[in-house]
Chain A
Amino acid sequence: GAVVSQHPSWVICKSGTSVKIECRSLDFQATTMFWYRQFPKQSLMLMATSNEGSKATYEQGVEKDKFLINHASLTLSTLTVTSAHPEDSSFYICSARASVYNEQFFGPGTRLTVL
């Protein structure tokens, strides 16, 4: 149990375009979802926390107008990177937590390359 999927697993886009990443909890209802970014050989960096039906809470230094997060249902959250630039190239990972667990379960990640 506790499976989280992400789509796409990798994406290449041109500078200036927007990219949407989906995160789904497949076998549980996720009251809270998290979005992380990880650069090569670096630690996980929490970008934002979202609760179903509420606005996301962004970490300091993360531009909310650039990284749009929608958590419209208990099984789906989306991250849209708007007007992507090469410096946004990274490994984006979502995770989800159900109200009955304290554990976070991670999706497989999305590797974004902006040309």
Chain B
Amino acid sequence: QKEVEQNSGPLSVPEGAIASLNCTYSDRVSQSFFWYRQYSGKSPELIMSIYSNGDKEDGRFTAQLNKASQYVSLLIRDSQPSDSATYLCAAYTGGFKTIFGAGTRLFVKA
């Protein structure tokens, strides 16, 4: 069974701090990895994609991928209360399906 594992949280960080969200995956053939943000009552929104080992930065977000350790993370710098949401990690292994983690709830305290 291909799986994507995330700590459900909640992860609570003060405003302005760095929030670190982690994800592990079981399928070594996973090619592409994604982070989605889902606000309560809304659908998921894609915020980052990463395909190669290393870091990828986009504004306050940095995605990190380590295929040898089967680990992908998302760092949110200068966290804001508006970043409070559930963050979903996802892995695409080819074929038709993308496997989603259950999500980590993040609370940013003002």
Verify A43–B46 contact, CB threshold 8 A.
no
Task: Say whether B97 faces chain A, with CB atoms less than 8 Å apart.
Answer: yes
Name A105's closest neighbour in chain B (CB-CB).
Answer: B46
Interface SS of chain A: helix, strand, loop or mixed? strand
**Residues of B contacting A102 with CB < 8 Å?**
31-32, 49, 51, 92, 98
Do residues A44 and B92 form an inter-chain contact, with CB atoms below 8 A?
no
Q: Known contacts A49-B97, A104-B98: does B44 contact A44 (CB below 8 Å)?
A: yes
Q: Give the number of chain B interface residues (Cβ < 8 Å).
A: 21
**Chain B residues within 8 Å of A106, by CB:** 36, 43-46
A residues in contact with B97, CB < 8 Å = 46, 49
**Distance, CA A107 to CA B96, complexed state (A):** 18
- Quick one: CB contact mask for B91-108 with A, threshold 8 Å, 1 for yes? 010001110101100000
Q: Which residues of B contact A105 (CB under 8 A)?
A: 46
A2 to B49, CA, bound (A): 14
Most chain B CB atoms below 10 A, which of A95, A102, A108, A109: A102
| Interface flags, B46-68, vs A, CB<8A=1, else 0 | 10010100000000000000000
Q: How far, in angstroms, from A43 to B90 measured CA to CA in the complex?
A: 13
Number of A residues near B (Cβ < 8 Å) is 20
Whether A63 is near chain B, meaning CB under 8 Å from some CB there, is no
Q: How far is the CA of A4 from the CA of B34 in the complex (A)?
A: 18
Measured in the bound complex, the distance between the Cα atoms of B42 and A91 in whole Å is 9
Q: Measured between alpha carbons, how far is A97 from B34 in the docked complex, in Å?
A: 13
Contacts of A103 in B (CB 8 A): 32, 34, 46, 49
A4 to chain B: closest CB distance in Å? 9
A75, CB-defined interface residue at 8 Å? no
B103 touches A43 (CB 8 A): yes
Tell whether, in the assembled complex, residue B43 and residue A108 are in contact, meaning their CB atoms are under 8 Å apart: yes
- Interface residues, chain A, with chain B CB atoms under 8 Å away: 2, 32, 43-44, 46, 49, 51, 57, 91, 93, 95, 97, 102-109
